[in-house]
Amino acid sequence: MTEEKDVLILAIESSCDETAASVVKNGREVLSNVISSQIELHKLYGGVVPEIASRKHIEKINQVIEEALTEAGVTLDDLDAVGVTYGPGLVGALLVGVAEAKAIAYAKKLPLVGVHHIEGHISANYIENKELEPPFICLVVSGGHTHLVCVKDYGTYEIIGRTRDDAAGEAFDKVARAIGLGYPGGPKIDKVSKEGNPEAIHFPRAKVNESEYDFSFSGLKSAVLNYLNGCQMKGEEYNQADVAASFQKAVVDVLVEHSLHAVETYGLKKFAIAGGVASNSSLRKAFEDECEKRQIEFYHPSPVYCTDNAAMIGVAGYYEYQKGARSGLDLNAVPNLKLGER
Ligand code: KG4
Ligand code: ZN
């Protein structure tokens, strides 16, 4: 029997405020994962400034790719393909990665594979869970997206539910700003919540009438703002940790309830989480406990693979590559690319 040749993919991610490159071997082995974060820069403005993000990506991208190749111990000549996030995301930011990937693919005559950012987040679960295979249900919770997805096969998705307004991460960021925690809010709320009482204030758990799997977080955000206003009008100090913990609990309750309802309805015993908010410690604990109770296998990536990174793009790119998906040199950034679309 002849041994199958290894497949090495260089992956590039620049959809938001992280410039990232990674080399992934055979879809699940991460040889390098280099991330240059712009968070410190955007903190000054309280959120991501698209123009600044694009400019910073241009400054960093070559260096990040070089580091990824060096760390993996490979050169461009060893690669089998180049994978790149082409949507969804900030158009100017995406374009930097797409142009770079096209240049490398052209110069080195390598196949180019455009990757969907959310497919990347979902695929991050394959890195550390070697036994995980579709079908399974995945909850994607990031700064821009909240999707409940049935992963039917590699690269085949059915969207079961989505947010009607704010993404979960967006709600974390907005509430954090309102209680003076700054940007990015998710990790800060996670931290101060540990000092607070999640039962101190009852915030609403929104249901969307027409769809039992959809989410809505804007009402919750308004409820928090109203609570803060109420305190101010009465001249009362609010307890920052209690507000954070009670808000976080309201988000976690809804995410857990909808997700596990879907897992049971679809008759699948496997459930995964993905995206920046998936690194939230309280969310992970709640899913761990509930999945154990209901005898559901629970999967999650390490925090470094939850937030934006290129390794996840390499994994998703590998499965696309194996299926024969190839992008032309006319590949463009698609800022509002839908899941399952190519
Ligand atoms: O996946 P990601 O890095 O970027 C997008 O594709 O959007 O997600 C970033 C989001 C931000 O809203 C951030 O506040 C949130 O993930 N986040 C968290 C935590 N870490 C990051 N939210 C809650 N708890 C955390 N520990
Ligand atoms: Zn992301």
Helical pair 240-265 and 185-193, crossing angle rounded to 10 deg: 100
Q: Is the pLDDT of residue 184 over 90?
A: no
Contacts 24+ apart (CB under 8 A), 176-185: 176/244, 177/46, 178/224, 178/225, 178/228, 179/224, 179/228, 179/238, 179/240, 179/243, 179/244, 180/240, 181/240, 181/244, 182/43, 182/46, 183/39, 183/42, 183/43, 183/46, 183/47, 184/39, 184/143
Kindly report the protein residue whose alpha carbon is nearest to atom 8 of ligand 1: 276
- Per-residue pLDDT averaged across 231-255, rounded? 97
What pLDDT is recorded for position 316? 98
Atom of ligand 1 at shortest distance to CA of 184? 14
Q: What percent of the chain has pLDDT over 70?
A: 99
Model pTM score = 0.95
pLDDT of residue 61: 97
pLDDT of residue 48: 86
pLDDT-wise least confident of 4-8, 235-239, 254-258, 321-325: 4-8
- Distance, CA 248 to ligand 1 centroid (Å)? 13
Q: Which ligand is nearest to the CA of 169?
A: 1
Residue-by-residue DSSP string for 274-342: ESGGGG-HHHHHHHHHHHHHTT-EEE---HHHHSS-SHHHHHHHHHHHHTT--B-TT----TTPPTT--
Mutate to test the pocket of ligand 1, among 172, 191, 284 (most ligand atoms within 8 A of CB): 172
What pLDDT score was predicted for residue 206? 85
**Minimum-distance ligand 1 atom for the alpha carbon of 118:** 6
Question: From ligand 1's centre to the CA of 186, what distance in Å?
Answer: 6
With a cut of 70, say whether residue 3 has pLDDT above it. no
Residue 152: the pLDDT is 97
Atom index in ligand 1 nearest the CA of residue 173 equals 14
- Measured from the CA of 306, which atom of ligand 1 is nearest? 1
pLDDT above 90 covers a percentage of the chain that reads 89
Where does ligand 1 bind, in terms of residues with CB under 6 Å? 16, 142-144, 169, 172-173, 184-187, 190, 275-277, 279-280, 307-308
Residue 74 contacts residue 23 (beta carbons within 8 Å):
yes
pLDDT of residue 46: 81
Please list the alpha-helical segments (H only) found in the chain: 39-43, 50-72, 91-108, 117-123, 125-128, 168-178, 185-193, 218-233, 240-265, 281-293, 303-306, 311-322
The rounded Å distance from CA 311 to ligand 2 centre is 12
pLDDT digits (tens, 9 = 90+) for 66-105: 999 999 999 999 999 999 999 999 999 999 999 999 999 9
Mean pLDDT value across the chain: 95
The residue among 304 and 5 whose pLDDT is bigger is 304
Residues ≥6 apart with Cβ < 8 Å to 209: none
For 120-142, how does the pLDDT look when each residue is reduced to its tens digit (9 = 90+)? Answer: 999 999 999 999 999 999 999 99
Q: Which residue among 142, 173, 302 is best mutated to probe the pocket of ligand 1, counting the most ligand atoms within 8 A of its Cβ?
A: 142
**Token pair for 98:** 């797409």
Report the alpha-carbon distance of residue 259 to residue 287 in Å, rounded.
9
Residue 2 has pLDDT above 60, yes or no: no
Segment 144-174, tens digit of pLDDT: 899 999 999 999 999 999 999 999 999 999 9
What's the average model confidence in pLDDT over 34-39?
91
Q: How confident is the model at residue 1 (pLDDT cuts 50, 70, 90)?
A: low
Element (H, E) at 30: strand 29-37
Question: What distance in angstroms lies between residue 277's CA and the mean position of ligand 2's atoms?
Answer: 10
